[in-house]
Each structure stands twice: as structure tokens, then as C-alpha cells.
Amino acid sequence: MTTIEAIADLLHTAARQATEVDPWNHGAGGFDLATAYQVQDAVVARRVAEGERIVGAKLGLTSRAKQQAMGVHEPLYAWLTDAMNHPAEKPLRLDGFIHPRVEPEIAFVMAQPLKGPGVGVLDVLAATGAVAGALEIIDSRYRDFRFTLPDAVADNASSAAFVLGPLQRPADFDLSLVGCVLEVDGQAVDSAAGAALLGHPAEAVAALANDLGRRGLSLEPGWVILAGGLTAPVALSPATSVVARFSRLGTVRLLCDVN
């Protein structure tokens, strides 16, 4: 078995068994970013082999708040599957997670295929069928949620679950000015505007389309794209209640089960 397949096995097993593993890139002997994306593909292939379906992609570390919180200062991308799509009305059971955290995001639902290179904000908006507020639940498989950029990429960028808010037409409002207030157990703990994501949330989606285009891949109609955490993430515990209130995009709620 190649190293790539062996690391993918360890990360996939860690996710399935909700156990932590040590990151590889503490010092010498790690792997580079290109190898990390190969591991990511192998991790996602294991999910697909078990019956999950790719339903979209996500950007990560696109805001300064997220980069500072994780100590990693470059964006990355990863894949979303149908099993990660958590219905808003259902309490989230935490027993399948290691150390879950939640972050507010802005989601795009593609109506047209979109393929880089050369994709810009206006191309993204023209190919978008709907936008929504969202909550992403991330759950790094690494001990203490600590990693380097290649580690996080290999781990499919901590992807675990996401909750979509009400879908809105991407009408005549500016997504960079959309405000978000994050409330945890009834207290406002953080806030941000869409511009936190590389200046404009659609700029993040354009970067994804351009990166995937270099690999011959496009964003596909129906796909959900998460543009990246707007604020620092917040740890989830049993019975935690999370509400993200967005201007223009409505409200997204997540309630964690009591056990």
C-alpha cells in the first residue's frame, strides 16, 4: 500500500470511529500540499465506496478570523457529501464526533456548471441558483484540533456536517455587505460581514472554480459550495444551541442533542 493510501486509511478510520490521530507535519518527514490533496481524494473515495455521494465542495481558511484561530494562513478546499447534510430541524447527536466546532458560513447552490481558469465574481454570481446562510460543523481528526495546511487538506479540511438555511435568490444585494451575528446559548459571541471572505464570498467560490479547473474539474449544477467560516469556530457540547442571524439571508439554527 502506498503512503497516500495508508494515511487515508488512518484518517478515514479516525473519522468513522471518532478518535484522534497525530498530524504528520510537526517537523521533518511530512508531506507537501500536492500529496495532501492526493490523500484528500483517497479519503473521499473511501466515503464514496461506502455509499456517500459528493454534493458539493467547501473553501476553508478564507477569512482572517479563521486563519488566526487555526494558525494556518492560506485557504484550502475540500469535499462535501450527502451524509454531511444535516437537516436544520433535527437535533445534532455529538457521539459520532471527536471535538466538533461550528462556524457560520455563506453557501452557494450552483445552477450552471462553472469551470476555471479565468472565473471571476460575476461569473460565479451568474452561475449561482441560490445563496443561503449556513452553519458548518468541523471536526478535525487531529489531536487537539492542531494541524498544518497539508495536514488539514489531507483530512478533507475537517469536514463533518453542515446545515443550510433558507435558500434565497442571489438578487440585487451585495453579498460582501451581508452581516452575520453568531449566537451561542442566547448570547451574541461574534459577528462578521461577507467581505471577511477574500473581500467577497463569490471571490472564494471563484478561487475554488479556478483551482479545480487546473485539475480539469468543474463546479456542477446542484452542488452546494461553502465559502468558508466567517468567524472563529465555537466548540459544541451537549445541548449547545447555536443561531446564526444573517441580514438578507435569514436565520440558521443548530441544537445539539442533550447527550
Q: Contact residues for ligand OOG (CB under 6 A)?
A: 58, 60-61, 66, 70, 103, 136, 138, 140, 152, 157-158, 228-229
Q: Is 244 helix (H, G, I), strand (E, B) or coil?
A: strand
Q: How many residues does the chain have?
A: 259
Site string for Mg ion, 128-167 (x = CB under 5 A): --------x-------------------------------
Nearest residue to ligand OOG on Cβ basis:
60
Please, which residue, 36 or 138, has the CB nearer to Mg ion?
138
Site string for Mg ion, 217-236 (x = CB under 5 A): ------------x-------
Residue 170: asked if its preceding bond is cis (omega within 30°), the reply is: no
Please, which residue, 136 or 183, has the CB nearer to Mg ion?
136
Q: For the chain, what is the total number of helices (H) and then of strands (E)?
A: 6, 11
Answer for the pair 41, 164: CB distance below 8 angstroms, yes or no.
no
70 binds, among Mg ion, ligand OOG, none (CB under 5 to 8 A by kind): ligand OOG
- Give the residue from 84, 66, 62 showing the smallest Cα distance to 159: 84
Answer for the pair 234, 242: CB distance below 8 angstroms, yes or no.
yes
User: Which neighbouring-strand residues pair with 54?
Assistant: 81
Please, which residue, 8 or 154, has the CB nearer to ligand OOG?
154
Please, which residue, 8 or 69, has the CB nearer to ligand OOG?
69
User: At its nearest, how many Å lie between ligand OOG and the CB of residue 61?
Assistant: 5
* Residue whose cell numbers read 453542515: 162
Please, which residue, 14 or 57, has the CB nearer to Mg ion?
57
Please, which residue, 184 or 186, has the CB nearer to ligand OOG?
184
> Where are the alpha helices (H) located in 136-191, listed in sequence order?
149-154
- Give the residue from 63, 27, 57 showing the smallest Cα distance to 40: 57
256 binds, among ligand OOG, Mg ion, none (CB under 5 to 8 A by kind): none
Q: Is 97 helix (H, G, I), strand (E, B) or coil?
A: coil
158 binds, among ligand OOG, Mg ion, none (CB under 5 to 8 A by kind): ligand OOG
Q: Is 155 helix (H, G, I), strand (E, B) or coil?
A: coil
Residues in touch with Mg ion (CB under 5 A): 136, 229
